Amino acid sequence: ETGVTQSPTHLIKTRGQQVTLRCSSQSGHNTVSWYQQALGQGPQFIFQYYREEENGRGNFPPRFSGLQFPNYSSELNVNALELDDSALYLCASSLGRGRPELNTGELFFGEGSRLTVL
Amino acid sequence: RKEVEQDPGPFNVPEGATVAFNCTYSNSASQSFFWYRQDCRKEPKLLMSVYSSGNEDGRFTAQLNRASQYISLLIRDSKLSDSATYLCVVNEGGSYIPTFGRGTSLIVHP
């Protein structure tokens, strides 16, 4: 196993509600990336956090926001949920941002949080 | 044009067959490349990195063609357990932000 844990594993919300997803990164990893994966699609990059700061953002609206904490764990928050937000949300931790000699580029994924919006 | 493109398949092959997937990328500044495997309703896991000189890991061979901006994955002697979705992943130089293709579905049947 990767050592990356996500919670909750499954949840159901209704349109307009808000959701917070959580991720604990693998020990020693300082970078966390969040991805949204709709059925039949590849993971789409939402944003990445490095040392508690957003390091990059994909094509997602501002109602998708995040945090990274000093222990490198992270949260993804989605406000005003829409039906199209139904997806698997994947958190991936990685090593080496700031340590390029160690960065193989490998991402270590958690099992994901499956969100259904009704 | 999508940054990373893959044929979604599915590729339906018998056990023992050889199958190849290609993936094209649009950013010529891309510097690192990977293949991930994703089983149904599970998270992606690294299958192999792709090096400029090409690399092999058992039945799996990955190659990079920078001039044509594509990478390939060859699977020899397919096993039933190879059935999965294979995701092509590309990192732009220095960005540390991997971009995924939509994946290619492989079904290996008896």
Q: Write the pLDDT tens digit of every residue in B19-60.
A: 999 999 998 888 889 999 999 989 999 999 998 888 999 999
Environment class of residue B84 by beta-carbon count within 10 Å: exposed (0-12), middle (13-18) or buried (19+)?
buried
Give the per-residue pLDDT at A74.
96
Average pLDDT over residues B79-97: 87
Interval B96-107 mean pLDDT? 90
Q: Is B47 on the interface with A (CB under 8 A)?
A: no
Q: Are the Cβ atoms of A45 and B98 closer than 8 angstroms?
A: yes
Mean of pLDDT values over B4-16: 95
- Selection from B96, B51, B46, B34 nearest residue A98 by Cα: B96
Q: Are strands B30-38 and B84-92 parallel, antiparallel or unpaired?
A: antiparallel
Q: For residues B2 and A12, which has the higher predicted lDDT (pLDDT)? A: A12
- Of residues B102 and A98, the one with the higher pLDDT is B102
Ordered per-residue pLDDT tens for chain A, 118 residues: 668 999 999 999 999 999 999 999 988 888 899 999 999 899 999 999 988 999 889 999 999 999 999 999 999 999 999 999 999 999 999 875 555 555 667 889 999 999 999 9
Q: Provide the pLDDT for residue A106.
A: 82
pLDDT of residue A100: 57
Quote the CA–CA distance of A31 and B9 in Å, as a whole number.
Answer: 33
B12 contact A CB<8A? no
**What pLDDT score does A27 carry?**
83
Measure Cα distances from B39 to A34, A56, A110, B45, B84 in Å.
Answer: 19, 28, 13, 9, 5
> Nearest C-alpha of chain A: how many angstroms from B63?
17
A66 touches A75 (CB < 8 A): yes
Two tokens at A111? 């099992």
Query: Number of Cβ pairs closer than 8 Å across A and B?
Result: 61
Residues in chain B closer than 8 A to A44 (CB atoms) = 100
**Is the confidence at residue B94, as pLDDT, over 90?**
no
pLDDT of residue A99: 56
What is the residue-averaged pLDDT of chain B?
A: 92
